[in-house]
Amino acid sequence: MKQQPGKRKPALWGLFLLVASLCTHAASAVEQGPTLVYSWPVNAGPLDPRGYSPNQMYAQAMVYEPLVRYTASGALQPWLASAWQVSEDGKTYTFTLRDGVRFSDGTPFDAAAAKANLDAVLANSQRHRWMELVTTLDHVEAPDRLTLRLVLKHPYYPTLMELAQVRPLRFASPQAKPGHAVGTGPWMRVESRLGEFDRFARNPDYWGPRPAYGEVLVKVIPDPNSRALALQAGELELIQGAAGEITAGTFVRLRDQGFATALSAPLATRTLAMNTGRGPTRDLAVRQAINHALDKQAIIDKILYGLEPRADTLFAPNMPYADLGLKPYAYDPALAARQLDEAGWTLAPGATVRSKGDQPLSIELVFLGTSALQKSLAEVFQGELAKLGIHIDLRAVEDGALVRRQRDGDFGMIFADTWGAPYDPHSFVSSMRYAGHADYMAQRGLAIKDELDQRIGQVLASTDEQQRAAQYRFILSTLHEQAVYLPISYLTAISVRRDSVNNVQFGSTLFDVPFEVMTPAEEH
């Protein structure tokens, strides 16, 4: 296992570059059409359907397709599978594959091809075992050309949700040569120049609606300000994504300059986890007081330019099982002060920080030092909570150190966004059971933690929809009442476009951009 990927990849890349350059001629011979110019901070990578970094998920989603597709409403839509059935015991999923689908190299997409892909995942399950379905999947059967059967070791309700994810359970042509990205998707990559661009051409054999654009040219632009300038100068037609493609301030500036802009529905939650196992945040009253003490709407308006909806709960109501009507923690500093007083956190005459016995009400807030946004938010929290007599000790750390602190529970409060669709809520809730996750570490001080973990295990194995909804209600209500989190806002994707492109829509997850539905202005 050691060093294998590293030793294999150079050869794969070399081959890929050769093939990609050869394909340039093939693609130009295939079809012509208008080109949509987009940008991304890095190249798309080798586009292995089961590969992680440096494979970029937006590009994998362009080339490879799932059996079922996750929609913005959280529902699932037939895709490469036209229908499916789940056995009564919840352990067998039988899919009827869509007939007439071909990979972009002409190979038919059938049960044998699908099985070969899933078997490849199982053969390398160590690498993919972060995904619960991979460890739950016992084996795959292909009883006939268009029937695919997944047999699980035990019931696992998010099976379909995980099949919808961008990787590693999508399908590449079994005939594809190493380094050659061949999927069933609407696009195929035809050229890649390191550090400069990736070019995708329309798949002429695509089974679905034909994309209006003939090509998508994705320029490599790492700097957000340069990206905005490129759009203004006409070098780009579209900026879209949820990974900080441009800052909120730049988005507003471009909107004010007349560019067409849009915001997606909530895709994840920007939140702070509070450590129930360490320091003053062990006290429920402190956690609740912090939730009441912050005027989140004012903070969003000032720092996020009002671009993200205020979050009152851990998951946005548009996420599955999350529309529970939980009562928000209203902004009420007086109530927050009263809660702290009643809990014994009092302000001595002349003091600026509350204390209980000899313990000062001082909390370490860990944030990503390279994120201007987190830094601004953290400083505002510090200022606002100081008014209440809560001292916030700001700790700026690097990316890796932030993850390490999350894993070690080395924080009082820490930025810990949810994973977003389609991981929310099931994958995110599932991770709460494992030591090493920020959420587990944040929740470990709760008296009810063991029961919570049991309930999470039950909800994932539940085959009854009503029971599942009831279990989710219990889990999410408990976390809300225990004020383990300080939800700030719901993360959204942004989109800014020039007039030359129309019908811009958002993908249903943080990771996909549906270029295939976009149209050039003159054709719209």
Partner 1 sequence: MLRYICLRLLLLVPVMLAVSLLVFFLLHLGSTDPALDYLRLSHIPPTDAAIAEVRQTLGLDRPLYAQYWTWLCNAVQLDFGISYLTGRPVLDDLLYYLPATLQLGGLALACTLLLSIPLGLMAARWQGRWPDHAVRAVTFLGVSMPNFWLAFLLIALFSLWLGWLPPLGRGGAGHLVMPVLAIALMSMSINARLLRASLLEASGQRHVTYARARGLPERRVWRDHVLRNAWLPLVTATGMHIGELIGGALVIETIFAWPGVGRFAVSAVLNRDFPVMQCFTLLLTGLLMVCNLVVDVCYAWLDPRSRLQGVSA
Binding footprint of partner 1 on the chain (CB under 8 A): 1-7, 9-10, 13, 42-43, 45-46, 52-54, 57, 126-127, 129-130, 193-196, 219-223, 225-226, 229-230, 232-233, 235, 370, 397-401, 403-404, 407, 419, 427, 431, 434-437, 511
Nearer to partner 1, 29 or 233 (CB): 233
Q: What is the DSSP string of 256-305?
A: HTT-EEEEPSP-EEEEEEE-TTSGGGGSHHHHHHHHHH--HHHHHHHHST
Closest CA to 137 of 113, 112, 163: 163
Contact 275, 449 (CB under 8 A): no
Task: Compute the distance between CA of residue 487 and CA of residue 312 in angstroms, rounded to an integer.
Answer: 6
> Nearer to partner 1 by C-beta: 398 or 481?
398
Torsion of CA 337, 338, 339, 341, to 10 degrees: 90
CB of 370 to partner 1, least distance (A): 7
Structure tokens, 448: 């009810």
Residue-by-residue DSSP string for 320-353 = TT----PPP----HHHHHHHHHHTT-B--TT-SS
At its nearest, how many Å lie between partner 1 and the CB of residue 167?
9
Closest approach, Cβ 92 to partner 1, in A, equals 26
Least CB distance to partner 1 at residue 510 (A): 9
Q: Which amino acid is it at 49?
A: P
- Which residues pair with residue 363 across a beta bridge? 392
- In this structure, the number of other CB atoms found within 10 A of the CB of residue 292 comes to 20
DSSP-derived 3-state class of residue 26:
helix
Residue 100: burial class (beta carbons within 10 Å; 0-12, 13-18, 19+) = exposed
Classify 385 as helix, strand or coil: helix
User: How far is residue 330's CA from residue 353's CA, in Å, rounded to a whole number?
Assistant: 23
How does DSSP assign 78-146, residue by residue? Answer: ESSEEEEEE-TTS-EEEEEEPTT-B-TTS-B--HHHHHHHHHHHHHTHHHHTTSHHHHHEEEEEEEETT
Residue 210 CB-half CA count within 13 A: 7
Q: Least separation, in Å, of the C-beta of 161 and partner 1?
A: 15
Which of 107, 63, 46 has its CA nearest to residue 216? 63
Number of H helices, E strands in the chain: 17, 22
Output 53 or 466, the one with its CB closest to partner 1. Answer: 53
Q: Is the dihedral of CA 410, 423, 327, 294 positive or negative?
A: positive
Nearer to partner 1 (CB atom), residue 1 or residue 330: 1
**CA 176 – CA 317 distance, rounded (Å):** 42
307, 250 contact by CB (below 8 A)? no
- Quote the least distance from Cβ 410 to partner 1, whole Å: 11
**Beta carbons within 10 angstroms of residue 160's beta carbon:** 21
- Cα atoms in the 13 Å half-sphere on the side-chain side of 183: 29
Rg (CA), the chain: 25
SS3 (DSSP) at 455 = helix
Q: Which residue has the tokens 């009400």?
A: 361
